[in-house]
Amino acid sequence: MHRPSPHRLALLLAVLLASVGLAACGDDDVETSTDDVPTETDTADEAPLGGGGGAAGTCLEGTPDCQDTPMDPNAPVSGPDGEVPPPAQSDETFPSEAARDQARSLLGSPESELAPDVRVARRGEETFALTEDYVLGRITVELDDDGSGTHVVTSATVELPEGPETFTT
């Protein structure tokens, strides 16, 4: 009689354990509701599947920083330092003229004097990938060499409620 090699036996055992492990991940209590939107009367236990956060049920057991419970879609999102950003300003209260003045004031400034929240879209011939989200008051600049090896702001775009506005030298 032919005996399987220890390597094949180990491989067969690993496949068998993986299959059992995957089968154990199933949930016998899964609802099959087609209503994926929670209602005001749903409690946390009654909230339909998929009604929570996009990461619900995706964490590996024992992962310390993983949120796999449904989240309140109206709750403020905190940043990496735990701070909750101030609420967004409405279009009526946004200081558009002050934002324009701030963008204009950057023209001719050397790169070393830019605040950390100013985005650089281009430095000379080098362009940088930027996010496409629209943040009121955010300033994005383009830099060119002033002839002495220093890159200075030659274009500043500020994001305003009425649309982006660009200022150039």
Q: Is the pTM of this model over 0.75?
A: no
CB–CB of 55/67 below 8 Å? yes
Task: Judge whether 120 and 129 are in contact, CB under 8 Å.
Answer: no
Candidates 119, 159, 162; CA nearest to 137 is 159
Residue whose structure tokens are 């509701």: 33
9-25 per-position pLDDT tens digit: 777 677 777 766 666 55
For residue 128, what pLDDT is reported? 96
| DSSP summary character for residue 110 | B
Please name the helix (run of DSSP H) or strand (run of DSSP E) that holds residue 96, with its range, or none. helix 96-106
What is the per-residue pLDDT across 96-128, written as a single tens digit (0 to 9) for each? Answer: 999 999 999 999 999 999 999 999 999 999 999
Give me the residues paired with residue 160 across strands: 163
| CA distance linking residue 137 with residue 7, whole number of Å | 63
**What type of residue sits at position 124?**
G
Only one residue has tokens 């180990």, namely 10
3-state secondary structure of 123: strand
One-letter amino acid of 143 = L
Strand order in the sheet with 151-160: 126-127, 119-123, 139-145, 151-160, 163-168
List the domain boundaries for the chain.
107-168
pLDDT class of 33 with cuts at 50, 70, 90? very low
